Homo-oligomer: A and B are copies of this chain.
Amino acid sequence: MITIDDIARAAKVSSTTVSNVINGRSSRVSPATKARVNSIIAEMGYVPNMSARALVSQSSKVVALVNYFRTTTNAAFDDPFISRLTNAVECTLRENGYYLMLRSVSDADELQSFLQNWNVDGLFLTGVYEGDELYTTLRNINKPIVLTDSYLSDYGNMANVGLQDFEGAMLATNHLLKNGHTRIAFCSPPIKSGGVDDMRLKGHCEALKTAGVTFDPTLSFTSDFSAKAAGRIGRAIAARNDITAIFATADLIAAGVMAGIRDGGKTVPNDYSIIGFDDLDWCRLMHPSLTTVRQNTQLKGQLAADLMVSMLENESAAQNVMLPVHLVERESVRTNL
C-alpha cells in the first residue's frame, strides 16, 4: 500500500505538502511542487486510506441508508421503491465523493451504535412516523438526515422527500368520479395516522366531498400490504353489487383486488373500474393494464441524494419537498360510463 509518506519520500517533500496537494490547499504549495507531487501520485498509484482520514478528521464520507424494521412494515432493501432510491442515491453520492452503507436496525440503540461505529456523515430513512421510537433519537442526531415519505409536524434537522399524496388521491378519485362512478371502494394497507395512506384517504374524501358524494365508511377496506391479502378484498367486492369502482392506494393492492374480482367471476373494467397508485413497472404489463397515479421514484431518489449532498456540504438547510404525481390512464378504468 502506497501512503503519503511514500509519495513524500519520492517527491522529496514532507508528507504535509503531499497532504496539502491532495486536499487542494493550493495556497500552501507552489505550482511546481504541486505538479511534481501530482505526477508522482499518479505514477505510484496512490489511493487514500479512508479509515485513516475518518480517524483524524471528523468526517468519514460514509452515508448510510438505514432500514428501520418495525414489526409491522418491514420496508426491506428489496422493496421496489427502496431499491430504486438506493440506486439513485449511490450514484449521486459516488459522484460527490461519498460512500454508501446499507444497514438494518431494529431500534434506536442499534442505530446510534452503527452511526458511531463508522462516524457516519449522514443518513437516509424511509417512512418515519412521529410515534416511532426512533423519532426522538433522530431529532437529536446532529447529522444531515433525509427522510422519504414521512409526514412530520416538526422536521427539525431533517429533510424529507415525499409526494403530493393528498393531491394524488384526489386525482385518482376525481378520475373515477368523472367517469360516472360514485360508489367507490377505498382500499389500502392499515392506515397509520399521519402516514401516506392517511393522506391519500383524506384526498379521496376531499374529492368526494367536492363532488357532493358522501363518503361511505362501509366502502373502505384495508388489508396487509400484499396482493394475496388484497385478493380477499377483491372477492368481497365482487360479492356486492353496490360498488362500481375501486381506488387502491398502492398498485400491489390494486393487482390483488383485481385478481380477487376475477376469482369472484367479475371483470375489470366491465364490472369494476380500478385505479392504483405508484405506477410500478409491471402496471403496463397487466391485462388489463392498470390505470394508476404515477410517482417518479427515480426522481425522488435523485432529489433525496442531492439534498443529502448539499446538506453535507453545508450548502443548504433541511427542507421538505413534496413531489407532484400524475394520472396515467390505461385500461382498468372504463371511460365515460
Q: Which residues of A are in contact with B by a Cβ distance under 8 Å?
A: 1, 47-52, 54-55, 60, 67, 76-80, 82-84, 86-87, 90-91, 94, 99-104, 112-113, 116-119, 227, 255-256, 258-259, 262, 282, 284-287
How many of these chains are in the complex? 2
List of B residues within 8 angstroms of A282 by Cβ: 255, 282, 285-286
Q: How far is the CA of A282 from the CA of B251 in the complex (A)?
A: 11
Please give, as numbers and ranges, the residues of chain B lying within 8 Å of A86 by CB-CB distance.
77-78, 83, 86, 102
| Given A50-B118, A102-B100, A77 and B55 contact (CB-CB distance below 8 Å) | no
Give 5 pairs: A residue, B residue, CB < 8 Å, sorted on A: A67-B90, A83-B86, A100-B101, A259-B285, A282-B285
Q: How far is the CA of A161 from the CA of B281 in the complex (A)?
A: 27
Cα distance A232–B99 in the bound complex, in angstroms? 40
**Which residue of B has the minimal Cβ distance to A254?**
B285
Give the distance in Å from the alpha carbon of A308 to the alpha carbon of B129 in the complex: 36
Q: Which residue of B lies closest to A289 (CB)?
A: B259
Contacts of A286 in B (CB 8 A): 282, 285-287
With a CB–CB cut-off of 8 A, which chain B residues contact A113? 47
Q: For the complex formed, measure the closest distance between the CB of A91 and the CB atoms of chain B, giving whole angstroms.
A: 7
Q: Which residues of B contact A285 (CB under 8 A)?
A: 227, 255-256, 258-259, 282, 286
Residue of B91, B103, B287 touching A90 (CB-CB under 8 A): B103
- Check if B118 sits within 8 Å of A99, measured CB to CB: yes
Separation in Å of the A295 CB from the closest CB of chain B? 14
Check A117–B255 contact: CB distance below 8 A: no
